[in-house]
Structure 1
Amino acid sequence: MNAASFRTVFEDLEHPMAMATPSGRFIEVNKAYCRFLGYARPELLEKSVFEITHPADLDCARTLFKEVADGLRDQFHYQKRYLRKDGREVHARITTVWMKGRESNHPVCIATIEDITPEPTHVSTFEETQISQSLLENIDLGVNLVDEEHQVLYANRGTSRMLRKDLQEIIGQKCFRAFAKTETVCRYCPGVRAMKDGMPHSIEKEGRREDGSSFIVNVQAIPVFDKDGKSRKFIEVAEDITQRRAIEKELKLNQDRIDYLAHHDSLTGLPNRTLLYDRLKLAIDRAQRYKEQLSVIIFELDGIKKINDALGFDARNQLIKDVSARFKANVRKTDSLCFLGRDVFGMVLDKADSFQRSAFVARKILSLLKFRPFFISGHELHLTASIGISHYPEDGRNVESLLRAAESARGQARENGGDGYQYYQAEMENRSRYYLRLQGELHRALEKDQLTVFYQAQVAPSEGKLSGIEALVRWRHPERGLVSPAEFIPLAEDTGLIVPLGRRVMEITCQQAKQWKDAGLLPFRVAVNVSPVQVAKGNLKQTVKEVLNETGLPPEHLEIEITEAVLANNPEKTLQVLTNLKNMGVTLALDDFGTGYSSLGYLQKYPIDRIKIAREFIRSMLHNDRDAAIVESIIALGEKLGMGVVAEGVETEDTLDFLLAFGCTNIQGFYYAKPMDGKTFSSYLKDWCGAHSACPMKV
């Protein structure tokens, strides 16, 4: 850096800085230094450091400068008081570095000053002393004064409580003997380091008491300076953090447990669909990078429903567990065996460089099932499977297309009678023609307003009131009647029709909600589901704003319901979209929590108001302790984070009782009400008011 550049930087620094000779005469000062002391620059350049130093601190300052002049130091840190031009006293922490001048061998001091002047107080010196002493003796920290021989010169009551010893037993002891029951100075002793470089240092270590009990302590050592500027003592501030570390450890274990439960099937212990998705994505990335191939295998066990009907649910579960255990013992770990639910398994064959490899694995699956029977409830069972296979890159270049191709091939294998495997064939024309026709009909459905919305109640049982409504789209096909969303929503997402379709559903819902509000029947929210495609490709903020303006529905009555897939796709854009909606006053709910890309980080990062427990867990928790544990953990998590929790898919009183025992406050499902069209649901709202003392209008 040249002289001009240095001068500019020096002048513009926010911290006060000065340059001086060993005799204390100023060479240069910056603007901040002048402001700090109230002098003009020419005035300071005519003075020495000692002329503006408080008389009580002069000896220390002169000693330090003399040691530099004698070559005993090349830097020092100390605290002192200055006298401003107006006579006021100011306190400073000073750090100096001494460098050789360009034109002479005399060192030049470059000093950085930190203003540590205490705030003005109306408390007398006597009162300050009393407050400090009272605070020192009653604070829940150990505070000790220790000399350079590590002898404790002073200890407060906090130290006595921490070590469970009388003060007389502590004062006079070596600090390492008092705290750690050792005879040597601890490694990386913060006190030694603090006295050496004049700066505070800290360490976390294990302490040990006379009774043999141990504790975790955080020790901070602060140097104490003599008048000559040297540190021969230090203040030791000790905090017992044993309980804090225990809580952190427990939280870490709980986080690990929740993460495991969220990514593994509770019945089989195998990775679930989420983990299969992640591993397949990694495998595709690797295959793209190294120009490799891979295969996806999806297979289902044939005839499981008949076994369930004949032997019961418990026998069926035991069979699934036994099948999983056999597969785990007989396939490579690198093949990523996963359980996808019900009776379906998946595998990713990394580096599968030929059709023969996938065929070999498929035949191995069939032989493991057919030729080695399973013994369940006294019955000998021989199983078969329907297996679908897709290959990268021939059948798809991303996770969704490869899984879809394998699923399609599995369906074909099942239609062929099971007990075999089927490669995906792009010319499976029947299905393709069907979806092509359905796409055209969906276009016409939007044009002719064939979409309708059904509504399902959310109930707060403990309060005896409705707590919300979910809007569910239906398609009134002129020939086929009501078409399930499971049939046309994926098609709408694939074709982009989900954007206008989603807007139309929101318009219908908000118009209906405004009518209920005007009738005094809507003090709560109406939830509208939003697809990941709407967030990624549609201007969701503008859509919501326009629909609310057009319908006149206040934003606090609208809830946008998203799935975890939305959060996993383009997180930065998603966060911006959700934050904009939140700022508008719209509530945000996270649907199917626990089955997709579950992460506690999402709840922390995104402005989510409510979480909805996936119905898969609700259905199985009565028969599966691990699913019950997941449900209980999610409810507790929602309560801790101040989020509402909704359990959907509740159909029986036993399920309801379980959820109420876990503290769930919002219930949705057939137990209370099936989805209804707008007219029927309007009557339902009025009837609810008549049948319940806690009418929605009075909430």
Structure 2
Amino acid sequence: METSINILIIEDVRADFLMVERHLHRNGLAARCSWAVNAVEIAAALERGKWDLVLSDYNVPGLDFHENLAHIRGRFPNLPVLLVSGSVGEEEAVELLKIGTWDFVLKDNLTRLVPSVRRALAEAAEREALRLAEEGLRLSEERFQLAMRGANDGLWDWNLKSNQVYFSPRWKGMLGYGEGELEASPFTWVNLLHPDDRLPTQARMGEFLKGGDDRIELQFRMRHKGGGDRYIRAPAFLTRDAQGRPERLVGTHIDITEAKEAETSLRQAAAVFTSTLEAVFVIGLGGGILAVNPAFSTISEYPEGEVLSRGMDFLLANQDDRAFHQAIWQAVRENGAWQGEVSFRRRGGDAFPAWLGITSVGDEKGEPINYVGVFTDLSRLKHSEAKLQHLAHHDPLTGLPNRVLLQLRLEHALDRSRRDGRRCAVLFLDLDHFKVVNDSLGHDAGDEVLQVIGHRLRDQMGEADTLARLGGDEFVMVVETVAQAEDAASIAQAMIDVVGTPYRLNDSHEVSLRASVGVSLFPDDGEGADQLIQNADTAVHQAKQEGRNGYRFYTRSLTEKANRRLEMEAGLRRALDLREFVLHYQPLISLTGGRVEGVEALVRWQPPGREIISPYHFIPLAEETGLIVALGDWVLQEACTQMKSWLDLGLRLDKVAVNLSAQQFRLSYLQERIRDILSESGLPPCRLELELTETTIMARGDEAGIQMAALKDQGVHLSIDDFGTGYSSLAYLRRFPLDKLKIDQSFVRDIPHDEGAAEITSTIIAMAKNLKLSVLAEGVETPEQLDFLTGRGCDSCQGFFFSRPLAADDFRHWMDRAAGP
């Protein structure tokens, strides 16, 4: 059965209205027709009902068809309007069709009316369906856009056939770009990929397009316009054409940067929780433990399974101290955290100190959701602190008190002595020639000796006394009760005796040492600890100077002497910086031809405005303080430079002799330094003679031979200085590559009148000749000495008989005078 339709007929003649109505019914059209003859009725009809069709006459009195048509189309744009009239020409009908009339039927020929109505109704239905579809699509797109905006995702649509890509504003915005800044090309997407992700992402996309899947999800990083990277998750689906070929790829970009960072943070937190060396545990609001990390079990010895759901009070070493436990939680609830030192107990029962911290963890509203506890085992720290405390006050080698603790105990002893009106003594012990032990047996043996001496001295002292090691081979004993000076003397001698007792080391070497002791008394020699120790030190130096292996009490004159020594040491250091040293040169005379064959360079100290200081006063101190190395280096440089200058001026000199100290001879870089000095000065090596003492050579043994051979290889000459004063023999010295032997002036001084000196000198010359060594005699001052030496075959000599040591300019003038007119 055909559905009834509502038709509005606009006609001024009722007979024509009825005619049209009958025609519609006769031709099988189920139509409910309404008649309107003027504008008022038309407006009311349009307001009153929903119309499927309008049939209108063209000429209706009081109505303009064009206005009426516009009115109807304004209200109902898709309502079909057919013109049924008998007075409209064909051309005018065409124009009416152009402005919105759907069709035109003449009244005198209504055969086209029903087909035209049916066609119009069908077309109207199609238009309505299309409108509804378009409206649905619009709403769908609107909802999609709203959904995308709410999801904060970016949309992209890649047309695989045209190779054009649509990027939504949000897609661009999440990378910092605005409209018009990015080209609609897949290369835009590729270029924005992180360099490390570009090839892997392209490869996976290529495999997907070649395969049979229609969905893919990728993750990659993209570069943001403002710098940095954004992590992107990109789900997409593929549409295909009728032949199954990929046609479009549509997807979204979801910014997961914050999620990635959160994930990284969680992984890091998990790694920290698992790997940290501190014990970590999580406690629920009910007070039970929810989780522990491995370090918790390692430190407490409790496996995780035994502690879950238990309160942390089982860890407390003092289970009865409930008030302390409650105070901790009260502080956590009020302040959000608590930390402090506690005493915990391990599963095995051992108590240990720990540093505990408990922090409340809140939700977004700040309400606590659980608590995190962290504790560190302080056992090692406490042990280290005690060990450090001991090391700070004790000598690590002997275990005796060090200088710091000695100072404290001595101050304490002085306080008691002042209060009780008693004397106390400070005894400063220094081992004699301890360096020989280190050099000959090694430092391990030296350490063992110091430990043995420390034990022996400690066994000898009283309970209230203190024995300390200040370092090296120095020990100090504080004796709190000394009735008279003789008591201190007895203790000092006992210390010397106990040190002198031989002892056998672990390597079976037997060692026998001697010691010197200096004694200062309170209140006789000082009021304070520093002064008493210093005065005892001064006294021990005096004991060493007076033969060693004894003791000396402090006197004021010793302090004055020590102060002079300190002043000279400071002056020596200043003199090196200010170049206050000068060289004097003493001629070396050949006894065969009487000519000057060379000079010996001798250092002098010339402080500004003062007399020259002899080397006998400052060389021993320079050797003791180590300044001799820098001083000796300067002497070598200056002597070589001066010798080269004289040679350039034409002076006929074979060589310059320079003394080499024991400390210089021990330098590992001595050969290189000599080579550098010769190179810098331009002096040929054969013009330099280095003088060594017997003691210097013997102290180094076989190493001396190696050092001397290396120097000889450079071309320099080597001589033994002050021969006869040491303990060597010519048979021993023949092992070394020597060129000359210098007889010490102590033998020359007494010849020819002292038969013993004359015999020794003659023997030295004869044996040296047998060893193919040249001989020079020092300290020649008289014609008799010169005649004796010449007669015994001595090669050369030096001394005041010819000239005292001269400054460089004075020596040149002396040479000019010696050469004659």
Q: Normalization by structure 2: what TM-score?
A: 0.35
Q: Using CA pairs below 8 Å that are at least 6 residues apart, which structure has the higher relative contact order?
A: 1
Q: Which is higher, the Rg of structure 1 or of structure 2?
A: 2
